């Protein structure tokens, strides 16, 4: 018929493919330590570097010369460009070349990042940029690098220095050990770093009961407790790592696999073994979300962080 036109066919838009699928059965919890990145917090010379060095086959990134006295797959980072270059090198390396990556310390990496950002902004300090813009640029650059490192698929164990800040809980003031990063609000470096790690361990010295004396059984050759020595009332000061939060330190464990604390030996070579042996022996402790305002004072790094 003249003037009649067939109605055009309207094609139905194709629904985009979804990347998520609803589960059809319960999914079990992940219970391997490799799935939980770990941050060790502690004062200078407490033994954080030794803890990293005790982990077999980890690539150890060293921006403050803290690993000089330890063996391992070490690489010194002297500026921020080195940090960016190591991302590329790791992304190009064969998978499995290293069992994981150790970062010692994040404070020193942050300082090098700050220097690079200030140079780019042509200022001598982040505070010289109005409205906190300098601090924001440093935080963004640093946390983006940390995110990129995690996306490479390696297990990450980081260390950072600690500082003390006053917190008030139910109107009572406490001096609390916290990571020595600037800020405390949700957009600060402090908050940004803590969000990257599922386990926070606070390394310090504690008074603990002296371990039982062990001797070789002359008949079997096995090591047994020497019952002739009663050390139940004797205490010694030794390194420990706390995973249960306290009014006096920040810590936490979202894996629910670690005890309140791990008692370390006086040999740094045994640190990681103590950690893996303790894995699965406790109920764990979830991190408490809170905002803490800090001065940004960073504890000076030592040669044995």
Q: What is the pLDDT of residue 298?
A: 40
Question: What are the pLDDT digits (tens) for 213-270?
Answer: 666 777 777 766 555 555 556 678 899 999 999 999 999 999 999 999 999 988 999 9
Question: What are the pLDDT digits (tens) for 161-170?
Answer: 999 998 888 8
Residue with the larger pLDDT of the pair 295 and 107? 107
Q: What is the pLDDT of residue 219?
A: 78
Does residue 3 form part of some domain? no
Question: What are the pLDDT digits (tens) for 35-84?
Answer: 999 999 999 999 999 999 999 999 999 998 889 999 999 999 999 999 99
For 65, the domain range is: 33-205+238-278
Does residue 303 form part of some domain? no
Question: What are the pLDDT digits (tens) for 68-82?
Answer: 999 999 999 999 999
Does residue 211 form part of some domain? no
Does residue 42 form part of some domain? yes
Residue pair 119/129 in contact (Cβ under 8 Å)? The answer is no
Does residue 50 form part of some domain? yes
Q: Please give the structure tokens belonging to residue 303.
A: 């040669």
Mean of pLDDT values over 280-286: 76
Global pTM?
0.82
Question: What are the pLDDT digits (tens) for 127-174?
Answer: 889 988 899 999 999 999 999 999 999 999 999 999 999 888 888 899
Could you give the 3-state DSSP secondary structure of residue 295?
A: coil
Could you give the 3-state DSSP secondary structure of residue 220?
A: coil
Does residue 218 form part of some domain? no
Does residue 88 form part of some domain? yes
Q: What confidence category does residue 15 fall into, taking pLDDT thresholds of 50, 70 and 90?
A: confident
Strand ranges in 43-194 using DSSP code E only, listed in sequence order: 58-62, 73-76, 100-103, 155-169, 172-179
**Phi-psi bin for 116: left (phi > 0), alpha (psi -120 to 50), beta?**
alpha
Task: Indicate the number of domains in the chain.
Answer: 1
Does residue 160 form part of some domain? yes
Q: What is the pLDDT of residue 168?
A: 86
> What CATH number is associated with residue 111?
3.40.50
263 exposure class (CB count in 10 Å sphere: 0-12, 13-18, 19+): middle
């Amino acid at each position: 018929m003249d003037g009649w036109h067939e109605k055009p066919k309207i094609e139905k838009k194709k629904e985009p493919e979804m990347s998520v699928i609803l589960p059809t059965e319960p999914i079990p919890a992940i219970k391997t330590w490799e799935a939980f990145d770990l941050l060790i917090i502690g004062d200078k010379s407490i033994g954080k570097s030794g803890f990293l060095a005790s982990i077999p086959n980890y690539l150890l990134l060293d921006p403050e010369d803290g690993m000089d006295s330890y063996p391992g797959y070490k690489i010194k980072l002297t500026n921020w460009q080195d940090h960016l270059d190591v991302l590329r090198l790791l992304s190009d390396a064969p998978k499995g070349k290293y069992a994981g990556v150790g970062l010692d310390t994040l404070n020193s990496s942050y300082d090098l990042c700050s220097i690079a950002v200030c140079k780019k902004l042509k200022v001598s300090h982040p505070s010289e940029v109005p409205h906190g813009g300098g601090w924001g640029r440093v935080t963004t650059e640093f946390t983006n690098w940390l995110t990129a490192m995690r996306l490479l698929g390696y297990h990450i164990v980081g260390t950072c220095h600690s500082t003390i800040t006053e917190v008030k809980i139910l109107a009572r003031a406490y001096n609390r050990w916290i990571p020595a990063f600037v800020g405390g609000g949700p957009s600060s470096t402090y908050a940004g770093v803590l969000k990257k790690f599922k386990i926070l361990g606070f390394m310090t010295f504690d008074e603990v009961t002296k371990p039982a004396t062990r001797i070789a059984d002359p008949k079997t050759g096995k090591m047994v407790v020497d019952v002739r020595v009663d050390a139940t009332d004797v205490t010694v000061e030794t390194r420990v790592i706390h995973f249960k939060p306290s009014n006096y330190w920040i810590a936490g464990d979202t894996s629910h696999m670690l005890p309140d604390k791990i008692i370390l030996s006086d040999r740094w070579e045994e640190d990681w073994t103590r950690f893996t042996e303790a894995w699965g022996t406790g109920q764990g402790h979830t991190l408490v979300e809170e905002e803490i305002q800090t001065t940004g004072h960073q504890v000076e790094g030592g040669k044995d962080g």
